[in-house]
Amino acid sequence: MSYGLSLYKFVDGEPVRPDMDVVRAILSPHEAAPAKATGSDTEFWIRAADGSEVEVGVTDCVIGVERPQVGDVWKIIIELADRAGGAILIPDGTFLCREDMRAHLPEGMENDSVFVPEITLDAFERVAGPFTHPLT
């Protein structure tokens, strides 16, 4: 079974395309294959220093995180979520959001969200609870 997450950013109630300069700045130092090898500048194969890997793709207004392995790759995912957008859709339908995104969420979404000053691995693990334990 594959595990995946979606990362979002909202402005004035609408999802917006991630800033690709920010995405590349965070992911490029960890690329296991150059963008040219994947054939796209919006798809990344990331390998952390400990050898853990994840596939990341940017489409329209979503950063998709597919098949993250146990290990330090989670630190990269969390940094990406915090700096590139500010919301992670947890598999149970809960959004983990930066507090500064509260005013930008679509109407009604606030009820399904948990707000934190910044997205950290600790905050993610508290919210994701039974769905994932990335470092265990």
- Give whole-number Cα distances, 120 to 12, 42, 78, 83, in Å: 24, 24, 6, 11
**Cα 95 versus chain centre, distance:** 11
Rounded-to-integer distance, Cα 71 and Cα 25, Å: 21
Query: DSSP E strands: which ranges in the chain?
Result: 4-8, 10-11, 14-15, 43-47, 53-59, 62-66, 87-89, 95-98, 113-116
Rounded-to-integer distance, Cα 22 and Cα 27, Å: 9
Task: Give yes or no for residue 4 having a pLDDT over 60.
Answer: yes
Whether 44 and 59 have beta carbons less than 8 Å apart is answered as: no
Report residue 39's pLDDT band, with 50, 70 and 90 as the boundaries: low
Output the pTM of the full model.
Answer: 0.85
Q: pLDDT tens digits, residue range 64-104? A: 999 888 889 999 999 999 998 879 998 888 999 999 999 99
Nearest to 132 by CA among 77, 59, 63, 87: 77
